[in-house]
């Protein structure tokens, strides 16, 4: 069933678990994530990142995402990830996406807040939920999100979100979810991340109850820290890079094993099977030992 962020994240926070948000830039990944969610009996968020659009245009994958969500046996939110271009955001809405991350975090606080306030008012009138970002999430060198490189435990602290600013931003804009920075990064970590869990607690305590806290860069973070962040107030966790890398490694081993004695549809199906099992493990971690309500 197709849903937006609001209802599933409310249940998640009240239940002490988080909803996984996983990129689905091809059909194998889309099938794998939705099937994994059904088997784990948990809602899920499937999203299309603006940086993946050169790989597969949203007009091709978006309608498939919406179709899979509508037919799923669990609630599925179809979400735009890091949409920073207004025209691209409009393309997502035309495809039937039920939720939008309008990422203007590179702008000064006042401009970011003003534009998100205007956009959120319009989106809510259409029944669409909105996520924003405050603080610029660092990207590692092999990531596609942009800034790339220079990530260390010390430099990343400069990007951390201030709890008071988060509260002010949420009050001004009325966004449904806010991605905040507290030690994670996009991409593959050069060294194990150290999360500022106390900052998550402070952000959650400061913000309006109706604005949910979002953790980006969830892949590559150890399970103990992920679940501590969930318990502290993160009800949405984005995950993709490590799943994609793991599948690449698995498929390399698989192709070496079959030595070219196979067909492409068999190769594609093997990727689907691997990612589904991987996604099930991820969603199990996000359930935080709890039962999902829907």
Q: Active-site positions?
A: 81
Distance between CA atoms of 57 and 154, rounded to whole angstroms? Answer: 37
DSSP category for residue 161: P
Distance between CA atoms of 158 and 168, rounded to whole angstroms? Answer: 19
- Residue 207 has phi, psi (to 5 degrees) of -80, 160
Half-sphere exposure for 217 (CA within 13 Å, toward CB): 28
> DSSP 3-state helix, strand, coil percentages of the chain (rounded to 5)?
50, 15, 35
Is 218 buried (19+), middle (13-18) or exposed (0-12) by CB count in 10 A? buried
DSSP-assigned beta bridge partners for residue 21? 45, 238
14, containing H or E segment:
helix 5-15
- For helices 27-40 and 58-71, the axis angle rounded to 10 degrees is 20
Distance between CA atoms of 96 and 291, rounded to whole angstroms? Answer: 29
DSSP-assigned beta bridge partners for residue 40? none
């Amino acid at each position: 069933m197709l849903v937006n962020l609001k209802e599933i994240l409310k249940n998640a926070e009240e239940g002490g678990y988080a909803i996984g948000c996983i990129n689905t830039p091809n059909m194998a990944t889309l099938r794998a994530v939705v099937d994994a969610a059904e088997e784990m009996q948990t809602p899920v968020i499937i999203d299309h990142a603006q940086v993946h659009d050169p790989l597969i245009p949203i007009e091709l994958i978006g309608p498939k995402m919406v179709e899979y969500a509508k037919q799923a046996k669990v609630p599925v939110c179809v979400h735009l990830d890091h949409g920073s271009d207004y025209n691209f955001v409009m393309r997502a809405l035309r495809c039937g996406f039920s939720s939008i991350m309008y990422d203007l975090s590179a702008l000064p606080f006042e401009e970011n807040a003003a534009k998100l306030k205007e956009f959120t008012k319009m989106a809510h009138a259409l029944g669409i939920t909105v996520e924003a970002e405050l603080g610029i999430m660092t990207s590692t060198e092999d990531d596609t999100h942009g800034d790339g490189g220079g990530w260390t435990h010390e430099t990343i602290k400069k990007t951390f979100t201030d709890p008071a600013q988060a509260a002010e931003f949420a009050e001004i804009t009325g966004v449904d979810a806010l991605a905040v920075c507290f030690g994670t990064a996009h991409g593959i970590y050069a060294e194990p991340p150290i999360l500022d869990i106390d900052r998550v607690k402070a952000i959650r305590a400061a913000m309006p109850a109706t604005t949910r806290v979002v953790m980006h860069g969830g892949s590559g973070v150890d399970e103990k820290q992920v679940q501590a962040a969930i318990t502290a107030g993160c009800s949405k966790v984005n995950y993709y890079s490590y799943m994609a890398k793991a599948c690449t490694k698995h498929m390399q081993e698989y192709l070496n094993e079959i030595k070219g004695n196979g067909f492409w549809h068999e190769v594609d199906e093997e990727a689907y099977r691997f990612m589904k099992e991987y996604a099930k493990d991820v969603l199990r971690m996000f359930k935080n030992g709890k039962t999902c309500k829907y």
